[in-house]
Amino acid sequence: MTEAIRVNGQRLWDSIMAMAEIGPGEFGGSRRLALTDEDREGRDLFVRWCEEIGCGIEIDDMGNIFARRAGRDDSLPPVVAGSHLDTQPHGGKFDGIYGVLAALEAVRSLHDYDVTTEAPVEIVVWTNEEGSRFAPAMIASGVYAGLFDKEYAWSRTDSDGKTLGEELRRIGYMGESPCGEHAIGALLEAHIEQGPILEAEQRQIGVVVGGQGVRWYDVHLRGLDSHAGSTPMPGRRDALVACAEIISAVRALALEFAPDAVSTVGKMSVMPNSRNTIPGEVFFTVDLRHPDDEVLAKLDRQFRARTAALLDGQGVEGEIEEIWNNPAVQFDAQCIAAVEQATRALGYSNRQIVSGAGHDACQVCRVAPASMIFVPCAGGLSHNEAESAEPEDLEAGCNVLLQAMISLANRPSI
């Protein structure tokens, strides 16, 4: 009976720890930026592990890796599970890696118990999810979903001017098959929550029903550089003071739409950045998110209107450029049901949840049925080397993943 199969939690933990030794971070986490030598080493280890249990490997021309375990009817579209192996510069051991290695552990368990599913099952590694070396994030799953052109993706550069395409080729992961053509019958992505909700409510599993909408803006403010000593306070055209007021307004705006709205100014540069010159120019970014696209549109209008009102009379000109508008996503009902049923059958405490972060599944769900499984992480902390998760929660999420994969791969209608 496939319902009785359980994953090996110790082997899952050991694999996560072994992967973390590749590109170890300074503070106990991981530094494995996309398409670096460390990323290649992590990929090589993953491929070796998959080959050890007899999986066939296919790599597409965005470097996405699909490791396949044949089904009884191998012509059926596969049930795919996975995530990403790249990390932030000061990344943790679990973000992304857990989803890949939980999928590997699920397939290893099928192998141990000699279970053949009706449809094939596959483990996927998506390239450059983090976007910290090559922006934007989730670019390879985005190409898969038709959201980005491949040429655009290949031409993205890192801070040294190296392109994503060159680096893919250099590390030997520019595959043959065209990205987007590999069939996916259903996609499941297990991930740490990267937020505090499951931990606070002491629930082991988040049944993820969708992802919130995101809007990214580049904002340029132009005032006038002038002498800090001899320019009187009235009449100054201080772009940084205007920026500070906008930052406060952006924060207030999200608080007005609590608890679901979030807003962040995470990047800023000040020109000329000199202590005795009034800053004449400021560049900063704004990130607005909400699970409901209509509310997000309202936030967008308010952000623009309040910025214009704040700048009025300050002698500072502002320009807001929207650089990304990623609508909220709703995951597939059948995939959500498979996760929910598996969670219930296994007896894990759970709740439905909306993903606060972007994930590869949020891209792929636009072209294939997909959903996600969240497990708690300590303090909700992620994108930080101190990121941590409990072995028993990781094991629980992996058991849910395994059972959901089996039920989707054996469903008659796939």
Distance CA 165, CA 358 (A): 23
Identify which range of 13-21, 96-104, 144-152, 346-354 contacts Zn ion by CB under 5 A: 96-104
Nearest approach in angstroms of CB 228 to Zn ion is 43
Distance of closest approach, residue 409 Cβ to Zn ion, in angstroms = 24
Q: Select 194 or 407, whichever has its Cβ closest to Zn ion.
A: 194
**Which stretch in 88-96, 144-152, 293-301, 398-406 sits in contact with Zn ion by CB under 5 A?**
88-96
Kindly tell me the burial class for residue 75, based on how many C-beta atoms sit within 10 Å of its own C-beta (0-12, 13-18, 19 or more): exposed
CB of 359 to Zn ion, least distance (A): 6
Could you tell me if residue 23 is left (phi over 0), alpha (psi between -120 and 50 degrees) or otherwise beta? left
Give least dist CB 191 to Zn ion, A. 6
Tokens of 318: 């502002």
Min dist. Cβ of residue 49 to Zn ion (A): 20
Smallest gap from Cβ 13 to Zn ion, in A, equals 18
As measured in angstroms, the least distance from the Cβ of 275 to Zn ion is 39
The nearer residue to Zn ion, 94 or 284, going by C-beta atoms, is: 94
* Residue 244 CB contacts under 8 Å (≥ 6 apart), including other chains: none
CB of 357 to Zn ion, least distance (A): 7
Q: Which stretch binds Zn ion (CB under 5 A): 92-100, 119-127, 318-326, 393-401?
A: 92-100
Q: Which residues contact 369 (CB under 8 A, 6 or more apart)?
A: 185, 186, 187, 332, 334, 335
Q: Which stretch binds Zn ion (CB under 5 A): 40-48, 93-101, 206-214, 392-400?
A: 93-101
Under a CB-based contact definition with an 8 Å cutoff, are residues 296 and 289 in contact?
A: yes
Question: Under rule CB under 5 A, how many of the chain's residues touch Zn ion?
Answer: 2
DSSP state of 89: T
Angle (CA) 339 345 347, round 5°: 100
Instruction: List all residues 6 or more positions away from 56 whose beta carbon is below 8 Å from its beta carbon.
Output: 67, 68, 70
Integer Cα distance of 114 and 244 in angstroms: 61
Q: What angle do CA 234, 238, 239 make, to 5 degrees?
A: 150
Give whichever of 95 and 332 is closer to Zn ion, judged by the CB atom.
95
| Of 95 and 167, CB closest to Zn ion | 95
Q: Which residue is nearest to Zn ion (CB)?
A: 96
> Is residue 188 within 8 Å of 371, Cβ to Cβ?
yes
Q: Candidates 45-53, 55-63, 95-103, 304-312 — which segment interacts with Zn ion by CB under 5 A?
A: 95-103
Check binding of 95 to Zn ion (CB under 5 A).
Answer: yes
For the chain, the first-to-last Cα distance in angstroms comes to 21
By beta-carbon proximity to Zn ion, the closer residue of 120 and 195 is 195
What does the alpha-carbon distance between residue 101 and residue 177 come to, in Å, rounded to a whole number? 24
Question: Cβ of residue 84: shortest distance to Zn ion, in angstroms?
Answer: 6
CB of 95 or CB of 387, closer to Zn ion = 95
Residue 303 or 374 having the CB closest to Zn ion: 374
Nearer to Zn ion, 96 or 376 (CB): 96
Single out the segment in contact with Zn ion by CB under 5 A; choices: 11-19, 57-65, 94-102, 226-234: 94-102
Closest alpha carbon to 307 in 282, 327, 279: 282
The correct pick among 96, 142, 165, 358 for binding Zn ion (CB under 5 A) is: 96
Contact call for residue 340 and Zn ion (CB under 5 A): no
Please tell me whether residue 393 binds Zn ion under the rule CB under 5 A: no
Q: From residue 127, how far is each of 144, 172, 232, 301 by CA, in Å?
A: 11, 13, 53, 34
What residues line the site for Zn ion (CB under 5 A)?
A: 95-96
